Amino acid sequence: MSVSGGQSVAEFLSSRPLVTLTFAQSLDGKIAGKEGKQLILSGKESMLMTHWMRTKHDAILVGIGTALNDDPQLNSRHIPEDERPSHLPRPVILDANLRLRPDCKLLKNYRERKGRRPWVICDADLTSNDIGRKSTLEDAGARVIGVPSVDGFIMIPDLLKVLYNLGIKTLMVEGGATIIGSFLAEPARTEPNAIIDTLIITIAPTLVGNDGIGYGEKLSATQIPSLKHIRTEVMGQDVVIVSALE
Ligand SMILES: NC(=O)c1ccc[n+]([C@@H]2O[C@H](COP(=O)([O-])OP(=O)(O)OC[C@H]3O[C@@H](n4cnc5c(N)ncnc54)[C@H](OP(=O)(O)O)[C@@H]3O)[C@@H](O)[C@H]2O)c1
């Protein structure tokens, strides 16, 4: 079976980063509030764990929905300064249509030398309208990288190979909802699972309700990857479950 570009699964596995998919959810499986309102679901202990994990990865990936909605910094600022490793992960934003705002915190932090240069992954086939937005983002500090897309969705296997060839050996994927769905659904097309190595979910003791945003609604039963439980930890009021994908 081939994954992308005619590669076998074995060849693909040796040419993509190790991938950790991680996010926080409520007891009723929501990762954001009504209309995507950002919710701080993690308590301070599990938030600290997330910031430590960031320092263990070469890059942190979020989708453009999260970048626009939350304006994240994707750094390790919750770790006390005297304990904070000097390594800063590379921010990567999946943004097929180059909708990222040039004044977002990720670009501002880079310009102020407080963060690494963000990589913006867009559709490899840019239209002439997109070229102007590309220049604007590059002027603001972004490195814009084209990767093939289908229906506006960047192809995850191609993305992983591009990142690996650019030196990213470990990738932490933090969301949001659509990105989580894409990474979880991908294994069904690349049997055996070839996309995610580790899934780390923080479960917070809170309910959000029907208005909230979940991530599993579009996963069909045949797409659900099989998980091998590795560890469960209680962190403050949260439960953190670590699984490997088989
Ligand atoms: N609880 C948590 O741990 C957590 C973590 C992160 C985010 N969030 C929440 O998640 C919400 C945002 O989720 P979201 O679904 O709106 O946005 P998202 O998943 O961050 O980004 C999705 C967008 O990324 C682009 N994209 C390009 N290639 C893609 C691919 N292969 N798969 C998926 N998307 C691709 C598409 O943009 P185009 O439409 O431009 O093509 C797509 O609409 C926010 O409310 C945020 O607060 C929660």
Q: Cβ atoms within 10 A of the Cβ of 15, count?
A: 15
Domain containing 142: what range? Answer: 9-21+36-245
pLDDT of residue 165 exceeding 90, the answer is: yes
Distance (Å, whole) CA 199 – CA 11 = 22
Q: In angstroms, what is the span from residue 12 Cα to ligand 1's centroid?
A: 25
| CB distance 24 to ligand 1 below 6 Å | yes
What's the CATH number where 158 sits?
A: 3.40.430.10
Measured by CA distance, the residue closest to atom 16 of ligand 1 is 65
Number of domains in the chain: 1
Identify the DSSP state of 2: B
Q: In angstroms, what is the span from residue 81 Cα to ligand 1's centroid?
A: 30
pLDDT band at 3 (very low <50, low <70, confident <90, very high): low
What pLDDT, on a 0 to 100 scale, did the predictor assign at position 190?
Answer: 55
In a domain, 56, yes or no: yes
Mutate to test the pocket of ligand 1, among 25, 30, 178, 241 (most ligand atoms within 8 A of CB): 178
In a domain, 29, yes or no: no
Q: In angstroms, what is the span from residue 207 Cα to ligand 1's centroid?
A: 21
Atom of ligand 1 nearest to the CA of 62: 20
What pLDDT, on a 0 to 100 scale, did the predictor assign at position 245?
Answer: 86
Q: In angstroms, what is the span from residue 181 Cα to ligand 1's centroid?
A: 9
Q: Write the DSSP assignment of 108-161 as a string of letters.
A: HHHHTTSSPPPEEEEESS--HHHHHHHHHHHHTTPEEEEE-EETTEE-HHHHHH
Distance (Å, whole) CA 36 – CA 39 = 9
Instruction: Pick the more confident residue, 5 or 155.
Output: 155
Strand-strand pairing, 143-147 and 149-150 = unpaired
Q: Whole-number mean pLDDT of the chain?
A: 92
Q: In angstroms, what is the span from residue 40 Cα to ligand 1's centroid?
A: 17
Measured by CA distance, the residue closest to atom 33 of ligand 1 is 179
What pLDDT, on a 0 to 100 scale, did the predictor assign at position 191?
Answer: 56
Whether 149 and 96 have beta carbons less than 8 Å apart is answered as yes
What pLDDT, on a 0 to 100 scale, did the predictor assign at position 73?
Answer: 96
Mutate to test the pocket of ligand 1, among 71, 179, 186, 199 (most ligand atoms within 8 A of CB): 179
Long-range contacts of 74-82 (CB under 8 A, 24+ apart): 74/106, 74/115, 74/174, 75/51, 75/109, 75/114, 75/115, 76/51, 76/52, 77/51, 78/44, 78/47, 78/48, 78/51, 79/48, 79/51, 79/52, 79/55
In a domain, 3, yes or no: no
In a domain, 4, yes or no: no
pLDDT of residue 188 exceeding 60, the answer is: no
